[in-house]
Structure 1
Amino acid sequence: MVKDLKSALAALNAHEPVSLLGLRETQWIDAKGRPYQLADPKAVEELAKDVAGFANGGGGVIVIGIATRLEHDEEVLDHIVGVDPATVNMDQIRKLIRQWITPAPRGVRVGWSGANGERVAFIDVPAQAGDTLFVVPAPVGKPGSPRTDTVAVPRRDGDSTHWLPRTEIQQLLSAGVRASGLTTAQALTDLVRQATSKAGPDSGLRVGQGVPEREREMRAAYEQLADAGLGQPAGEAWAQGSAALQDLHHEQDGVPGWVLCLVAGRPPAAVAAPVWQAIVEAGRHAPGQDPLAAIGLPCPPKDTDTAWVISADARSVDLDGGSWGAGRLTRSERGVWRWQPLPRFSLNQGRSAEIGTSGQTPALRLRALVNLPWADAGPLEVSKPRRTLLEQQLPHSAVAGALTMLSRRRGADLPAARWERGPFGNSARSVGYVCTIAGPDGGPAVKASVMLALPTTMKSTVVACADVLIENPEAWAAVLGAGGDTQLGLDEVQAVLLAAWETAAEVLPDVIGDPAGLSWAAPPTTELRMTCEQPADNGVLPDLDTRVDLTSLGSNDGGPRSRMAVTITAAPAMVRAERQRLLREALAYMVGQFGYVDAEMDLL
């Protein structure tokens, strides 16, 4: 039950904004039915006022996307309106907070909570140092940079944010003068002298101002990179995890500026503002996360240990340190930036690993399942023309060729030419097709199946899957003819998994349009699996080596296994040679993790 700021933040972090409904706006929570319209100067001033009010009032959270109702003269959080991520620029909100509030509040977090139609944005303003007063420029409602010669003090009082009256501001200033032990004239002169000496002749801000513990380090980095064209600070520096960042102007007027980027353990970097914006935009769709916390920060080229520059004409940037892991942001010839993960392997299986297997017990299943976490996939659908095109493609697909190959290598011509709808169901949100090679009694001997499922309320990821199943080895042997050996070799397993992966990654996604134009909300992955699922008479699943010849891998220190699987984090689309290389490396990783420690790459 949500009853205080801590539990409200816990609900938002758990993507359960509905838990906030019924709360009353109070000292620590404020609800907005729609996003701040930041093209309007008055909305920018309102944002600064709201955040500074919470900073002065012990902390709180602003939730954007929940409408309120008036009840006994109190605003009650009534229902979720939802916010389209395309209408909220999180990075702009962070920059405006830093630019308009003095000093910039520490630890402010801007994020997303919920999913689909119940997604809300929130601004978490933690409690600040008790001896710090946060001020903003006096509101004027006109466009332009924040004025430095006016001041206003917002404060949170109950369920509203009010301006501190001028008389109280005067009393605070007078108290400060008295505490200094100087006369008013002396105190003002001293303040002006301090401000002038710290700011320098051309700027009201210092390099590193805002992160005092790293200010010296940032100034040293600035000096190392000054030849790149770094100008004066455009705002206070801020901390991003273990990194320190600061917006800078370019030394030439009218030229896009820079972001000074210091990441622990890496040489400092100056990132051109357009490239920095592309980095932030690429991570913006991560649900409930700060974009940089998801996508990470720039990594220097290999063997670089000195300060480096990412210029505005850069074609690619390597990123790491975020929850998405290592990746590369690349700009196309048309100037479109797209992030893709750098390949890596693990044994982590997703929630959809066994999708479509209910009620099935094949003797052997070889599966490639591709998780495609596209952002804003809700409107996607399978059109009739694209479904028809898929039906025409399947008999000539790689997975159909793999199924045909298994029989041809055993002397039988059993083409995978006839594909039928099912068994996974077909709709505007899903496709499912199967090709069956029947045994003498008409029952299935071997099969290939494909499916694609668009997101549901339970799953937020598009899933594409291709299977090859040895349903009944005896029936398959019967249709193969005399001497038909139904045990697969490792080379056949590789060929089938390669074909299934290619089909799931490149053929099936085309049923929803052009996937290349979609952005990621998380790293895409491919799960490769080989499983025995048909229990013996005693109810025990047989070992894989009864269906696949694993002798070339050597002994298994982990004992017999009925299944092995590996997950590849990589871009789904790639050239065939690259897919073959990754497949071999992934299988080598898999068999090693499952106890075949003597297996070598050249055996695969």
Structure 2
Amino acid sequence: MTRSLRYMVAVGCAVVLVIVSQLMAVAINAATATSSPWPWGLRVIQVHPFASCLVIALVLILLTAVTVVVSSRHPDGSATASSSDQTGGDRSDSDSDVATSAPSVRPGEGAEVCESTFRDVFHAAGGAPVLGVPVNAAQPAGPAGPGFVQFFGEGAGQVAICGVPRKNASLLPADVWQVIATAGDTTDPPDGVAAVGFPVSPQPAGNGVLVGPTTMEVDLEGGEWGPGQLWRAQPSGGWRWRPKPRLTFETRHRDQWSAGGEFDVRIRVVVGIPWPSTALPSQISRQRRLAVQQALGWTEFSQVFLNLATDRGAHLQAISWQTATGTDSFNSDRGIHLRCQQSAPDGGMALSGDVIVQLPDGFRETSLVGCVELRVRYEGLRAAAVGESEAGSADLRLSLLDAIEVLASAWGTAMRVIPLGAVDTPDTVALAGPPYAELHVQACPAYLTSSQHPLSLNDVVNLAALGRSTRDGQRQEAGFRVYAPMDIKRPSRRQWAAQGLAQLAQSWGYIEADRDRLLVRPTAV
């Protein structure tokens, strides 16, 4: 029934009630021998008390009827459902789904800028018979927004519809939303949405279901931590946040923990693991030091020593990681420093590896940080080579592919070993930010060439794979940062290391530098 027709019926009922009341008043006057000179017995109110009460009662009934008609409208102007409304009139079939379950609030109510997308997802997913009725009105997703969330149903089957303005709304289980809302747990109240971002349905249409029984990843966008996703290792597993890999050239650890000793080239990876301070110990125990030392026995990085030496015909002692000592040691109650040094026959250094773990101090560092680095001294490596006469004229410089393999190995070792200096089970600790790895290749700044110029990267690393440079200039170091999951696989680590070096080289004028070319083993001449 339309609005105009309802009001016409209400007015007609009022007229009929007035006429009937006056006829009854006339009848009562006649029965009591009371006459009235007024037409329709209008003076009856002044003549007979019983008739007066009757007219007043009828007027009250009339007012009640009008009130019922007016109050039968929803705040948005739509009529409440009746048995006839559900089968016809000006209501759509989708609206009848909500009316059938008679929810106290509408899908999307409270989120006017997103209400239409909430309603579309609600009906496309099956409406109230499937999702249940709204538990409450849509609420801001966090203290600072930017979107809204509304819950439907109860118990284990409760779901949430969430959305931001000008984006498709999404439907996901309520427990998955709670993982997003409490990610990081660094604020009170928690504002995980501001940290990790908002799930946005990629489908321009459809039922908007973002998480199904077999869904393993959910992309998030707009968070302070940068691009990321929720993921789980198996369909029955719990959800966790991890960053999507991305490259940046902002670094801060190029010279931190600079170890002493002579070297030609240093290749280091510094990692940062943002864990809540409540998950970290105040100092490093003896058991933790032993755990790190034992874990280093057979790692990718330990294998680097063997590969570099074997490729250059050098003999090495057994790989052994020992507590670093001396003025360049960084051991403390909050730090671990282990070293593996391979010496030349004259006692000088040929290869040296360092692994450092540092708990956050709350000032300079707020994350668990650590370093895995390799230092190479070509003179010592040459002296350790079999057939010293042949090695004396050979080019022992690392190729760019060698540097990439060292970077990838140091990165993987750091993410595996450094967490053991703080916790027993790193996989169970929730992140409080995106983990990162800084990758550096550096020529020793203290060394001079025969022409009295500082060593450049080209003096200590063969840069032929970059192609020809379009401008003059010597670089002493290359460095960049990659945000990535802690368990990023070795092939991906190699690709990101090559990508960072290629982009830096292009900025230096090596316009032909290409990531894929850097990953090809150079042909021996």
TM-score, structure 1 as length reference: 0.61
Contact 1:366 1:496 in 2 (8 A): yes
What is the distance in 2 between the residues matched to 1:214 and 1:329?
A: 23
Which residue is 2:483 aligned to? 569
Q: What code does the residue aligned with 1:437 have?
A: Q
In the alignment, structure 1 residue 591 sits paired with structure 2 residue 505: yes
Q: Residue 339 of structure 1 aligns with which residue?
A: 241
Question: Do structure 1's residue 503 and structure 2's residue 413 form an aligned pair?
Answer: yes
- Inter-CA distance 283–384: structure 2 relative to 1 (3 Å threshold): closer
Amino acid aligned to 2:198:
L
* Partner residue of 2:469 out of 556, 560, 565: 556
Could you tell me which residue of structure 1 aligns to residue 317 of structure 2?
Answer: 415
1:6-405 equivalences under 5 Å are: 192=71, 202-227=102-127, 229-239=130-140, 244-250=147-153, 254=155, 256-264=157-165, 266-285=167-186, 290-300=191-201, 306-311=206-211, 313=213, 314-333=215-234, 335-349=237-251, 351-357=252-258, 362-375=263-276, 376-379=278-281, 382-405=284-307
- Match 1:602 to one of 513, 517, 524: 517
Code of the residue aligned with 1:542 in structure 2: it is L
The code of the aligned residue for 2:440 comes to R
Residue 544 of structure 1 is matched in structure 2 by 457
In 2, the alpha carbon distance for the partners of 1:418 and 1:244 equals 54
Counterpart CA distance in 1 for 2:169 and 2:291 is 51
1:465 to 362, 368, 371: 371
Deviations 1:298-353 (A, max 9, x none): 1445x76545203463443221221122222123456322211122222122x444
Counterpart of 1:477 in structure 2 is 382
Q: Is the 8 A contact 2:114 2:165 kept in 1?
A: no
Distance 1:347 1:306, change over 3 A: farther
Instruction: Tell me if the contact between 2:114 and 2:163 (Cα under 8 Å) persists in the aligned partners.
Output: no
Structure with bigger strand share is: 1
Secondary structure of the corresponding residue to residue 448 of structure 1: strand
- Give the structure, 1 or 2, with the largest relative contact order (CA under 8 Å, sep 6 or more): 2
Q: 1:528 to 1:218 in 2, by over 3 A?
A: same
User: In the alignment, what sits opposite 2:13?
Assistant: none
What is the alpha-carbon distance in structure 2 between the residues aligned to residue 510 and residue 268 of structure 1?
41
Give the C-alpha shift of residue 430 in structure 1.
Answer: 1.9
Aligned-partner SS, 2:480: strand
Pair 556,294 (structure 1): closer, same or farther in 2 beyond 3 Å: farther
- Residues 381, 317 of structure 1: CA spacing in aligned structure 2 closer, same or farther, 3 A cutoff? farther
CA distance in 2 between partners of 1:536 and 1:596 (Å):
25
1:413 aligned counterpart, secondary structure: coil
Contact kept, 8 Å, 1:362 with 1:534, in 2: the verdict is: no
Counterpart Cα distance in 2 of 1:221 and 1:527: 43
Matched, 1:491 2:401: yes
Correspondence 1:456 to 2:370? no
Q: Is the 8 A contact 1:404 1:416 kept in 2?
A: no
Structure 1: which 5+ runs fail to align? 1-183
Structure with the higher helix share, 1 or 2: 2
Contact 2:182–2:190, Cα closer than 8 Å, also in 1: no
Q: Which residue of 2 aligns with 1:429?
A: 334
Larger radius of gyration: 2
Whole-angstrom CA distance in 2 between matches of 1:190 and 1:593: 74
Contact 2:466 2:502 in 1 (8 A): no
Which residue of structure 1 lines up, in the alignment, with residue 440 of structure 2? 529
What per-residue deviation string (whole Å, max 9, x for no partner) do you get for residues 493-548 of structure 1?
12211221121111332233111011100011111110113234599643211100
Native 8 Å contact 1:243 1:261 kept in 2: no
Distance 1:588 1:220 in 2: 47
- Residue identity matched to 1:520: L
Amino acid at match of 1:462: L
Over 3 Å counting, the alpha-carbon distance change for 1:592 and 1:514 in structure 2 is: farther
Aligned equivalents of 1:561 and 1:520: distance in 2?
A: 36
Please say if residues 117 and 169 of structure 2, whose CA atoms lie closer than 8 Å, have aligned partners that are also in contact.
no
What's the counterpart of residue 84 of structure 2? none
Aligned-residue CA RMSD in angstroms?
Answer: 3.5
